[in-house]
Amino acid sequence: MQKIIILDFGSQTTQLIGRRVRELNTFCEILPYNKYPEDDKDVIGVILSGSPLSVYQEDAFHIDLNHIRGRLPILGICYGAQLISYTYGGKVESAGTREYGRQNLQYIDRECPLFKGFDDHSQVWMSHGDSITKLPEGARIAASTETVENAAYYIPEKQPVFGTQFHPEVFHSLQGTLLLKNFVVDICGSRQEWSAEAFVETTVQELRQQIGKDRVILGLSGGVDSSVVAVLLHRAIGDQLTCIFVDHGMLRKNEFHDVMRDYECLGLNVIGVDASEKFLSDLAGVKEPEQKRKIIGRDFVEVFNAEAQKITDAKWLAQGTIYPDRIESLNITGKVIKSHHNVGGLPKDMHLQLCEPIRWLFKDEVRRVGRSLGMPEHLITRHPFPGPGLAVRILGDITREKIQILQEADAIYINNLREAGLYDQIWQAGAILLSEVRSVGVMGDERTYENPIALRAVTSSDAMTADWAHIPYEVLAKISNEIINKVKGVNRVCYDISSKPPSTIEWE
Ligand code: XMP
């Protein structure tokens, strides 16, 4: 399949470039800047990302562009454009002050195919501390702004080279998607064949070939990723798939039953395991967040393994790993940081092979695939929920009584978000029980001395950064009243107005 390679020089917006290319129904891979593949026969073009570094710095990330240039079209964005310039006889210098924000193009070379269809004063987004003061050899200015002469350039060769000082991938570059389309479709020749439907069709065929008559085990969580994997596999191999859904006792109100019913309606072969007794007794008296996580992780592996061992002829373990889990993002030192790993200590002695059919998808693509598989909307749009569940939303030790209080408060919160039409605008929401804090209140004629509930809701695109959601006061007021009136043990409700960073989404 045709693909675009995006070489990552450590910019925060590299993933966004990937998402924009995929939105053009074109497959792309994001690779660390120095990991260009040896075999590039399917590659139709290369994009060089931005970076927090300066190309003239001693420890800047440099690569040999000669084995790409002349063979494939190249687009350099910000640092990428500077790197091309620096490599091929141009000059890059500190701009003195950092240029950050919206700018309008003042001049556009109408012969440059990158800007085909652009409006005269199109708005672009700048974020750079260095400027290209001399273009690379053979290059022409493609666009300028009032303050940046070389805002974009091109070298018109058979396999052309382009550089933009601005960031077409960010929302504030209003015609950024058009620019990327010009590059990906017109210049690189993408046939735009990457779609949810095409993905389902080819993946189902590949899974059939890969798995043959073998049996597959899949751990379900109720979340969209593992659910989509289940339905994909079910379509490919039917009852050769056995799913295991572990109830650790800290799910949301009625969640275990509701999700089991959904899965059964989808025709999946699911074993539901109620292991709440084990988890809660092992967690008794434990307050420290990391210790809670360790116990839950260990118990989960034990319970899952015990069920998996019963499926003696299983050959494969399927997982809902998605692309952002696997992208090797770089930090400024050039070290690769893995933010997350899905493959955690599961049945080693069973010698299962790993099957990760959605490992190339971004979250929004997983949802599109889910829709194309005909899954119910509430399963597809469900907010992410942490593996340890409400355990990391009860500050202090965990008891059945506290879980029940939190489940009730959380259910009121989430139902109200749904009723107000806010649920789908929010990345993730949940209630937190501050079980070690008590405050005074008055109910009727009686003094109360009970726990507060904190409400958390964030907007985000990948959970790496998040902003607190601006829920209208009226909705918050209704939620607060309903929780305090209906949930015994709670006499105060607070709203969390912290962003990530420096806070995190979960409280523990
Ligand atoms: P934080 O709290 O780190 O959360 O901002 C980022 C995202 O990860 C989820 N999360 C977890 N998921 N096991 C999980 O499976 C965990 O221990 C865990 N901790 C946080 C969190 O809900 C959010 O979506």
Give the residue, by CA position, lying nearest to ligand 1 atom 6.
Answer: 463
Q: Which atom of ligand 1 is nearest to the CA of 385?
A: 22
User: Is 404 within 8 Å of 363 (Cβ atoms)?
Assistant: no
- CA of 190 from ligand 1 middle (Å) equals 36
Which of 171, 116, 161, 166 minimizes the C-alpha distance to 144?
166
Which tokens belong to 54?
């300066």
pLDDT score for 336: 67
**Ligand 1 atom with minimal separation from the 221 CA:** 15
- What residue ranges of the chain are covered by domains with CATH 3.40.50.620? 196-380
Specify the pLDDT at position 324.
82
Q: Which residue has the tokens 């307050």?
A: 287
Residue 257 — very low, low, confident or very high, per pLDDT cuts 50/70/90?
Answer: very high
* CATH superfamily to which 196-380 belongs: HUPs (3.40.50.620)
pLDDT above 90 (res 326): no
Listed residue (503, 501, 497) closest to 454, CA to CA:
497
Identify the weakest region by mean pLDDT among 3-7, 20-24, 33-37, 324-328.
324-328
| Amino acid residing at 139 | A
Please give the CATH number for the structural domain made up of 394-495: 3.30.300.10
Nearest CA to ligand 1 atom 19: 386
Instruction: Tell the residue nearest (CA) to atom 11 of ligand 1.
Output: 386
Angstrom distances, CA of residue 149 to CA of 130, 142, 153, 403, 419: 13, 10, 10, 61, 51
Active site residue 257: no
Mean of pLDDT values over 390-406: 98
Residue from 290, 506, 507, 508 whose mutation best tests the ligand 1 pocket (most atoms within 8 A of CB)? 506
Question: In this predicted model, what pLDDT tens digit does every residue of 304-313 receive, in sequence order?
Answer: 999 999 998 9
Give me the pLDDT at residue 377, please: 95
Q: Active-site residue 28, yes or no?
A: no
Chain segment 53-81, per-residue pLDDT in tens: 999 999 999 999 999 999 999 999 999 99
Lowest mean pLDDT among 441-445, 470-474, 489-493: 441-445
What is the CA 17 to chain-centroid distance, rounded? 13
pLDDT (mean) for 131-154: 96
Residues 458 and 497: their CA atoms lie apart, in Å, by 9
Residue 338: pLDDT band with limits 50, 70, 90: low
Mean pLDDT estimate for the chain? 94
Q: In three state form, how does the secondary structure of 58-99 look?
A: CCCCCCCHHHCCCCCCEEEECHHHHHHHHHCCCEEEEEEEEE
Amino acid, single-letter form, for residue 392 = V
**CA 427 to ligand 1: nearest atom:** 24
Told to judge if 265 belongs to the known catalytic residues of this protein, a careful annotator would answer no
User: Cβ of 2: how many Cβ atoms within 10 Å?
Assistant: 18
Bridge partners, residue 439, by sequence: 450
Read off the pLDDT band of 329 (50, 70, 90).
Answer: low
Which residue has its alpha carbon closest to ligand 1 atom 9? 386
Asked whether residue 342 carries a pLDDT value surpassing 60, the answer given is no
pLDDT of residue 92: 97
Q: Which atom of ligand 1 is nearest to the CA of 503?
A: 5
The end-to-end CA distance of the chain, in Å, is 43
Ranking 4-8, 275-279, 458-462 by mean pLDDT, the lowest is 458-462
The confidence band for 144, taking pLDDT boundaries of 50, 70 and 90, is very high
In ligand 1, the atom with minimum distance to the C-alpha of 387 is 15
Confidence label for 341 from pLDDT (cuts 50, 70 and 90):
very low
**367-387: per-residue pLDDT in tens?**
999 999 999 999 999 999 999
What local confidence, expressed as pLDDT, does residue 343 receive? Answer: 45
Identify the band that residue 325 occupies on the pLDDT scale cut at 50, 70 and 90.
confident
Residue 346 pLDDT: 59
Q: Which helix (H) or strand (E) holds 501?
A: none
Catalytic residue among 29, 99, 169, 365: 169
Task: Indicate which residue's Cα is closest to atom 10 of ligand 1.
Answer: 386
Q: Which of 128, 167, 234, 248 is catalytic?
A: 167
pLDDT at 98 over 80: no
Segment 26-60, tens digit of pLDDT: 999 999 999 999 999 999 999 999 999 999 999 99
Mutation pick for ligand 1 pocket among 410, 505, 507, 508 (CB with most ligand atoms within 8 Å): 505
Ligand 1 shell residues, CB under 6 Å: 293, 384, 386-388, 428, 463, 500, 504-506
Judge whether residue 426 has pLDDT over 70: yes
Closest CA to 21 of 365, 325, 331, 329: 365
CA angle 148, 149, 153 (to 5 degrees): 110
- Residue 298: the pLDDT is 93
Centre a 10 Å sphere on the Cβ of residue 450 and count the other Cβ atoms it contains.
Answer: 19
Nearby residues of 87 by Cβ (< 8 Å), 6 or more positions away: 62, 65, 136
pLDDT of 243 higher than 90: yes
Residues of the chain with CATH 3.40.50.880: 3-187
Ligand 1 centroid from CA 333, angstroms: 25
**Would you say 350 and 309 are in contact if contact means Cβ atoms under 8 Å apart?**
yes
Buried b / exposed e over 83-101, threshold 16 CB at 10 Å, is bbbbbbebebeebeeebee
Q: Whose CA is nearest to atom 7 of ligand 1?
A: 463
Q: Tell me, what's the pLDDT at 410?
A: 98
**How far apart (Å, rounded) are the C-alpha atoms in residues 193 and 27?**
8
Q: What is the Cα–Cα distance from 482 to 496, expressed in whole angstroms? A: 18
Kindly give the distance from the C-alpha atom of residue 504 to the centroid of ligand 1, in angstroms, as a whole number: 9
Over residues 192-240, the pLDDT tens digits come to 999 999 999 999 999 999 999 999 999 999 999 999 999 999 999 999 9
Element (H, E) at 208: helix 196-211
Q: For the residues of 91-157, what is the DSSP string, one character each?
A: EEEEEEEEEEEEEEEEEE-TT-GGGTT--TT-EEEEEEEEEEEEPPTT-EEEEEESS-S-SEEEE-S
Q: Can you read off the two tokens belonging to residue 179?
A: 């620019």
Q: How far is the CA of 507 from the centre of ligand 1 (A)?
A: 10
Query: Which residue lies with its CA nearest to atom 22 of ligand 1?
Result: 386
In percent, the amount of the chain with pLDDT more than 70 equals: 96
pLDDT at 348 over 90: no
List the Cα angle 78/140/49 in 5-degree steps: 20
Q: Do residues 45 and 87 make contact, with C-beta atoms less than 8 angstroms apart?
A: no
Q: What stretch of H or E contains 44?
A: strand 43-48
CATH, range 3-187: 3.40.50.880
- Taking residues 353-372, report their average pLDDT: 94
- The CATH 3.30.300.10 portion of the chain extends over 394-495
- Which residue from 64, 5, 9 is spatially nearest to 188, judged by alpha carbons? 5
CA of 339 to the centre of ligand 1 (A): 11
CA separation for the pair 490, 156 (Å, rounded) = 68
Half-sphere exposure of 348 (CA within 13 A, CB side): 4
CA of 422 to the centre of ligand 1 (A): 21
pLDDT in tens, 183-192: 999 999 999 9
* Catalytic residue (one of 28, 78, 112, 355): 78
Banded model confidence at residue 463, pLDDT cuts 50, 70, 90: confident
Q: Residue 444 above 90 pLDDT? A: no
From the CA of 297, how far away is ligand 1's center (Å)? 13
